[in-house]
Structure 1
């Protein structure tokens, strides 16, 4: 399963920079279950934007790791930061269908994770 993560500023918060994204990437690499996954930092145009590039983390989840485990690791990273940005997780299926999670509500995130894992 191929997933992409990018960061967005929360209400009136500072815009996330590449150092913040690198911090998340290092955190994920340090997680024992996630470290064995393919994790890369890349640039991509955001949907709907004419130009400009944004840094994203691309992950390829193999067997043995669920989206729920990934979201738990991201949640732990956010709790460890004084002003954590929002983390947006996107999965694009081979047929072009896209699933996007961008909520700070733990119940909504858990429901979305179950849908992605299913």
Structure 2
């Protein structure tokens, strides 16, 4: 399964910068369950009709040993370390392009997001 992650501001907080995204990437690379996945940082151009510059994203290809739940748990743990936790948007890359926005570290919300992404 291929996923993309990008970060968004929550409420009145400033938009996350590239350093924040790199922090998440380093966190994921350091997670024993996630390290077996292919993780890359890239840019994506806005969709037609969208305003703005290129958006930095983390691209992941989940291996057979990593579940979406494990990935979301790692992201949730990273969010708890942030003074102001950005929203994390995960998008499954396939024809239906399911997108899940995570603004909570609540285990029930993380489990619901995992179910949505697993399809």
Fold agreement, TM-score > 0.5: yes
What is the alpha-carbon root mean square deviation over aligned residues? Answer: 1.5
Structure 1 residue 64 displacement after superposition: 1.1
In structure 2, runs of 5+ residues without a counterpart are none
Corresponding residue SS for 1:46: coil
Which aligned segments of 4 or more residues in structure 1 are displaced greater than 6 angstroms? none
Q: CA, structure 1 residues 17+65, in 2 after alignment: closer, same or farther (shift >3 Å)?
A: same
Work out whether 1:99 is the aligned partner of 2:70. Answer: no
Matched positions, count = 116
- Using the size of structure 1 for normalisation, the TM-score is 0.90
Deviations 1:5-43 (A, max 9, x none): 000000000110000000000000000011111000000
What TM-score, normalized by structure 2, do the two folds share?
0.89
Aligned-partner Cα distance in 1 for 2:10–2:41:
22
Contact 1:101 1:109 in 2 (8 A): no
**Is the counterpart of residue 61 in structure 1 residue 49 in structure 2?**
no
1:110 corresponds to which residue? 111
Post-superposition Cα deviations, 1:37-69, rounded to whole Å, max 9, x if no partner, equal 100000002335255201000000010100010
Q: Match for residue 89 of structure 1?
A: 90
Question: Is the 1:91–1:100 Cα contact (8 Å) retained in structure 2?
Answer: yes
